[in-house]
């Protein structure tokens, strides 16, 4: 973090996943917006399904809505990879409901009974 501050954000910081997580939390605490953005972008660029739940917890704790949306989109793109292995990823129930809602919205299909959604009541 000191390197980032003293180099005036101009130099690239060599990040790793654990370092990016730690710096993300520190950057949020000390209001270092540029560093927070760099760490968040690094984590999302190198994202794997096995990290979604941990990153989701961090993004919720820090109020990083943009990161949460990126995690949701990433999970939606990887549904086929995790189908049948939901328990392994320990995705929170609220997050799973957001996935279902987004699927319904984007496809117009009621995921529960596979009937098209209609506007009539």
pLDDT along the chain (121 residues), means of 10: 57 83 94 92 95 96 96 92 80 88 80 51 43
Confirm whether 72 is domain-assigned. Answer: yes
Distance CA 83, CA 96 (A): 12
| Residue 82 located in a structural domain | yes
Question: Tokens 């987004």 appear where?
Answer: 102
Residue 81 lies in a domain: yes
| Residue-range definition of the domain harbouring residue 58 | 2-107
pLDDT of residue 107: 78
Domain-embedded: residue 112: no
Q: Is 24 inside a domain boundary? A: yes
Does residue 29 belong to any structural domain of this protein?
A: yes
**Do the domain assignments include residue 119?**
no
How many domains are there within the chain?
A: 1
What pTM value is reported for the model? 0.78
């Amino acid at each position: 973090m000191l390197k980032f501050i003293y180099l005036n954000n101009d130099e690239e910081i060599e990040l790793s996943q654990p370092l990016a997580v730690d710096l993300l939390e520190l950057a949020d605490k000390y209001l270092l917006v540029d560093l927070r953005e760099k760490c968040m972008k690094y984590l999302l660029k190198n994202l794997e399904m096995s990290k979604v739940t941990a990153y989701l917890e961090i993004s919720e704790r820090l109020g990083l809505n943009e990161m949460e949306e990126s995690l949701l989109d990433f999970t939606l793109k990887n549904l086929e990879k995790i189908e049948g292995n939901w328990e392994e990823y320990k995705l929170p129930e609220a997050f799973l409901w957001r996935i279902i809602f987004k699927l319904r919205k984007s496809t117009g299909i009621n995921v529960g009974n596979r009937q098209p959604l209609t506007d009539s009541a």
